[in-house]
Structure 1
Amino acid sequence: MSEVADPPMKPPQADSRKMSAAWRAYGETLTEEQNLKNHMPLVRSVVDRMRASLPPTVDVEDLYSVGLMGLIHALRRFDPTLGVTFASYATMRIRGAVLDELRRVDWLSRSLRVKAKKVTEIIAGIEQREGRPATEAEVASELGVSSEEYSAMLDELRPLSYVELDAVAGEEDDSNMHDVVPDEKQPSASDLAMKNELIKLVVDRLQQLPEMQRKILAMYYFENLRLAEIAKVFGVTESRICQIHTQAVLSLKNYIRTASNK
């Protein structure tokens, strides 16, 4: 009689009170190679979500390789006592590794950066003057373009917006959202204070955004819906969702940068 193979082990549930011991027991039974194989779909999922916003000139296979290094980093550094799931932690590290690579190769054209800087400055001026998020109509008016032309401009800036939200902690010191969570087993008080302040700023601004912008960001970043799925929810085109997302991200980034410099 042939032996029946044991079913593959599943990682322990991260919300269990015995998570730490369970995770250690799980990890100790598997080699690093087995762990990598079990979690490779996570790398593909993260990269595939990001590639939709990148130009075709970006080598996706390179991003998969970089994402794999992020997964290895996550497997070696994960500490379940910090109270986050491994999937959440690994996603953050994979995404962070890919973003670092995109910044390293500087894949954005100079003209796109100049255009983004101009739009961001106008948004900043409107929001400082009005004390609320700028509308697309207001930005278009100050740019001296039609609403259709501004929508086309938002389409051009779309790739930048997905990187910019992760870099929202500040461009000047080359920091990004994944840097806020420390690698060390015991996070320092300053690390926690920085993370908590950033979270507070993001939450504060999200509450001030127009309802549709707020819901789109929540669906995309917290519910992990794809842009096409969000478009179906609102009954608009995916392109329109992308435009609204870009406007929201630029506004959010400006708010956090301004608040951080006070």
Structure 2
Amino acid sequence: MSQTLAKETSQKDARGTEKAWKTYEAATRSPLEEHPELFHKYLPLVRSIVTRIKINLPPHIDEDDLHSVGITGLISALKKYDPKQKKSFGSYAAMRIRGAILDELRRMDWMPRNARTNFKKLRKTVDDLEQRLGRPATEDEIRTEMNLSEREYQSLMEEVRPVTFLPLDHCPGGDEGEATDLYEVIPDDTLVPVTAKMEKEELTRLVAARIQQLPEMPRKVLAMYYFEGMRLAEIAAVFGLTESRICQIHSQAIVGLRSYVTNVMSK
């Protein structure tokens, strides 16, 4: 009975949203204030995205400021969304909201200078190693190359963690259950404007092939996180590891993938 009720409620919500869109279209994109239903329906999505992004940011970044920026992204989505496109409004709105927030973070230059310097050192180390080895570098190889103890390496990975989770949210999947594309987190526009040079399909193929070369653990972590929609805590439970350790494995894998794609694009 509960399933039937949930289904009826879902169908009712869908009809309500469709009706709201028809009203919105009929008004020829009239001012948002005259059509608050859609705005208020998706307003919680802004808070959800801000909360997930904030997890990976330094404490000094004000969450309310990001929320205000996210609202501008939602308004932009309401103004520009075409109901005829295949992407659902929820997914489109999430993309616009994230985009607005990430643009603001870039403008703020939020990453501490020391963390930025250490990230560049890590990137260069991974790049040099993989060029020399002709394959993805292992954690032990990276630590040895950087002359770091296990604890120092863990500290480094925690420091650069925000860079490896952005521009993606902390949790995979859109508001309507659609998985986040792994290719979105690979480009590093501060180094190479990859998305402007390479089609999504080609980048996806390139990344997928490289993932197959990764050691078993990072390969499985990426698959569970991006393709199976599992959260870090869930992945940690599967392997009997801490969430922090899974996050470290994810971060190292993403750094390596970014380095690989950057090298390919620079040729």
1:132 alignment partner, one of 135, 143, 158 = 135
RMSD over equivalenced CA pairs, Å: 2.8
Q: What residue in structure 2 maps to residue 28 of structure 1?
A: 22
Q: What residue in structure 1 maps to residue 95 of structure 2?
A: 92
> What are the superposed Cα offsets for residues 43-86 of structure 1, whole Å, 9 maximum, x if unpaired?
22222221111111111111111112222222222234442222
Q: Shift of residue 39 of structure 1? A: 0.9
1:202 aligns with 2:207: yes
Paired with 1:128 and 1:197, the residues of 2 have a C-alpha distance of 21
1:243 alignment partner, one of 236, 245, 248 = 248
1:261 aligns with 2:262: no
Aligned residues: 234
Paired with 1:58 and 1:115, the residues of 2 have a C-alpha distance of 20
Paired with 1:211 and 1:103, the residues of 2 have a C-alpha distance of 34
Q: What residue in structure 2 maps to residue 72 of structure 1?
A: 75
2:233 alignment partner, one of 214, 224, 228 = 228
Paired with 1:201 and 1:32, the residues of 2 have a C-alpha distance of 44
Q: What residue in structure 2 maps to residue 37 of structure 1?
A: 40
Amino acid at match of 2:21: G
Q: What residue in structure 2 maps to residue 106 of structure 1?
A: 109
Q: Percentage identity across aligned positions? A: 46
Of 92-101 and 224-233, more deviation after overlay is shown by: 224-233
Q: Shift of residue 226 of structure 1? A: 3.1
Amino acid at match of 2:225: Y
> What are the superposed Cα offsets for residues 187-233 of structure 1, whole Å, 9 maximum, x if unpaired?
xxx9xx62322222232233332333233334434444432233223
Q: Cα distance 1:26–1:32, how it changes in 2: closer, same or farther (>3 A)?
A: closer
Of 220-229 and 65-74, more deviation after overlay is shown by: 220-229
Q: Secondary structure at the match of 2:13?
A: coil
Q: Cα distance 1:127–1:103, how it changes in 2: closer, same or farther (>3 A)?
A: same
Paired with 1:175 and 1:101, the residues of 2 have a C-alpha distance of 18
> What are the superposed Cα offsets for residues 170-200 of structure 1, whole Å, 9 maximum, x if unpaired?
43577586xx7xxxxxxxxx9xx62322222
1:169, 1:198 within 8 Å by CA — same for their partners in 2?
A: no
Q: Shift of residue 256 of structure 1? A: 1.2
1:136, 1:147 within 8 Å by CA — same for their partners in 2?
A: no
Q: Secondary structure at the match of 2:199?
A: helix
Q: Shift of residue 151 of structure 1? A: 1.4
Q: Secondary structure at the match of 1:145?
A: coil
Q: Cα distance 1:164–1:90, how it changes in 2: closer, same or farther (>3 A)?
A: closer
What TM-score, normalized to structure 1?
0.78
Paired with 2:218 and 2:83, the residues of 1 have a C-alpha distance of 33
Name stretches of at least 5 consecutive residues in structure 1 with no aligned partner.
Answer: 1-6, 13-21, 181-189
1:169 alignment partner, one of 187, 206, 215 = 187
1:71, 1:90 within 8 Å by CA — same for their partners in 2?
A: yes
1:123 alignment partner, one of 106, 109, 126 = 126
Q: Shift of residue 24 of structure 1? A: 6.7
> What are the superposed Cα offsets for residues 142-166 of structure 1, whole Å, 9 maximum, x if unpaired?
0011222211210111112122675
